[in-house]
Amino acid sequence: MLYKIAIKKIGEKKGQALILAYMTIVFFTILSTPIFDTIISERWRLERQRLEKEAFYLAEGGIEEATNQFISAIANFEIQPNVGRYPLSGTIPTDYVSSAAFPTGAQVNSFIKEAEDDMRQITESDGNVVNKKTYIVNSVCEHPVNTKIKVTLNQVIVLRIIYTFQHAVFYTDDLEILPGPNMNFSGRVHSNKDMYLDSNGILTINSEYVRSAGNIYNQRKDWPLEPPGDVRIKKAGTGAYFNMAGLDSDNPNWLTESQSRWNGTVKSSVHGVTKLSTPVVGSIQPDGYYTANANVIIENGIIRQSGRILVEGTDVPTGTITTDTDFYNNREGKYVRMTNIDLKKLAGYAPGDAEGSPSFPNHLSSNGLIYATRDDAGTFAPGIRLINGTQIYRSGGLTIVSNDPIYIQGNYNTINKKPTAVICDSVNLLSNNWNDANSSQNLSYRTAANTTINTAFIAGVDNTTTGHYNGGLENYPRLHENWSGKTLYIRGSFVELWNGQISQGAWQYGNPQYKAPIRNWDYDTDFNVNNMPPFTPWAVEAQRGAWWKEQN
CB 165 within 8 A of CB 421: yes
Categorize the per-residue pLDDT at 265 as very low, low, confident or very high, splitting at 50, 70 and 90: very high
- Please answer whether residues 448 and 441 qualify as being in contact, where contact means their C-beta atoms are separated by less than 8 angstroms: no
What does the mean pLDDT of the chain come to? 92
Q: ∠ CA(288), CA(75), CA(397), 5° rounding?
A: 70
Name the more confident of 125 and 158: 158
Residue 200 three-state SS: coil
Tell me what pLDDT residue 148 has: 87
**Given a cut of 80, is residue 41 above it in pLDDT?**
no
Q: Is the C-alpha dihedral spanning 504, 509, 513, 519 positive or negative?
A: positive
Q: Is the pLDDT of residue 444 over 50?
A: yes
Residue 29's pLDDT is: 55
- Predicted local confidence at residue 104, as pLDDT: 74
For residues 490-517, average pLDDT: 95
pLDDT at 24 over 80: no
Instruction: Please confirm whether the linkage preceding 512 is cis (ω < 30° from 0).
Output: yes
Poorest-confidence range of 27-31, 53-57, 101-105, 109-113?
27-31
Q: How confident is the model at residue 14 (pLDDT cuts 50, 70, 90)?
A: low
What is the pLDDT, as a whole number, of residue 34?
Answer: 60
Nearest to 176 by CA among 246, 232, 223: 223
* Span 526-551, pLDDT tens digits: 998 779 999 999 999 999 999 999 87
Computed over its alpha carbons, how large is the radius of gyration of the chain?
A: 34
pLDDT bucket at 146, cuts 50 / 70 / 90: confident
Find the mean pLDDT for residues 212-220.
Answer: 96
Q: What angle do CA 283, 285, 286 make, to 5 degrees?
A: 125
Pairwise CA distance, residues 235 & 89, whole Å: 48
Distance between CA atoms of 414 and 390, rounded to whole angstroms?
Answer: 5
pLDDT of residue 20: 61
Window from 27-41, 149-163, 286-300 with minimum mean pLDDT: 27-41
Half-sphere CA count of 51, side-chain side, radius 13 A: 18
Neighbouring residues of 480: CB distance < 8 A, sequence distance ≥ 6: 329, 330, 331, 428, 430, 434, 439, 446, 513, 514
Model confidence at 257: pLDDT above 70: yes
C-alpha to C-alpha distance for 15 and 411, rounded to whole angstroms: 117
CA angle 18, 22, 25 (to 5 degrees): 140
525 vs 315: CA distance, rounded Å: 37
CA distances 547 to 63, 157, 505, 541, 550, Å, are 10, 9, 49, 18, 10
Least confident of 115-124, 246-255, 474-483, 514-523: 115-124
CB contact set of 414 (below 8 Å; sequence gap of 6+): 390, 391, 452, 454
Cβ atoms within 10 A of the Cβ of 272, count?
Answer: 10
Q: Can you tell me the distance from the alpha carbon of 496 to that of 457, in angstroms, rounded to the nearest whole number?
A: 8
Share of the chain above pLDDT 90, in %: 82
Q: Evaluate whether 136 touches 546 at the Cβ level (below 8 Å).
A: no
Q: Provide φ and ψ at 293, rounded to 5°.
A: -105, -5
Confidence band, pLDDT 50/70/90 cuts, at residue 10? very low
- Look at residues 249, 214, 161 and name the one whose alpha carbon lies nearest to residue 536: 161
Q: What is the DSSP code (8-state) at residue 311?
A: P
- Section 469-475 average pLDDT: 95
Using CB atoms within 10 Å of the CB of residue 178, give its burial: 0 to 12 exposed, 13 to 18 middle, 19+ buried.
Answer: buried
3-state secondary structure labels for all residues of 403-448: CCCEEEECCECCECCCCEEEECCCEEEECCCCCHHHCCCCHHHCEC
Is 383 in contact with 339 (CB distance < 8 Å)?
A: yes
Mean pLDDT of 382-403: 98
Report pLDDT for 6.
46
pLDDT confidence of residue 98: 73
Q: Does 490 have pLDDT greater than 50?
A: yes
Q: Say whether pLDDT at 2 is over 60.
A: no
3-state class (DSSP) for residue 2: helix
Q: What is the band of 30 on the pLDDT scale with cuts at 50, 70, 90? A: low
- Between 243 and 50, residue with greater pLDDT: 243
- The answer to whether residues 351 and 358 touch, using CB atoms and an 8 Å cutoff, is no
CA–CA distance, 489 with 178 (Å, rounded to integer): 19
Residue 505 has a pLDDT of: 94
**Residue 28: pLDDT above 60?**
no
Over 456-485, what HEC string results? EEEEEECCCECCECCCCHHHCCEECCECCC
- Write the DSSP symbol of residue 26: H
Residues in the chain: 552
Q: Which residues of 413-438 are buried (b: 16+ CB within 10 A; e: fewer)?
A: bbeebbbbbbbbbbbbbbbebbeeeb
Mean pLDDT of 360-378: 97
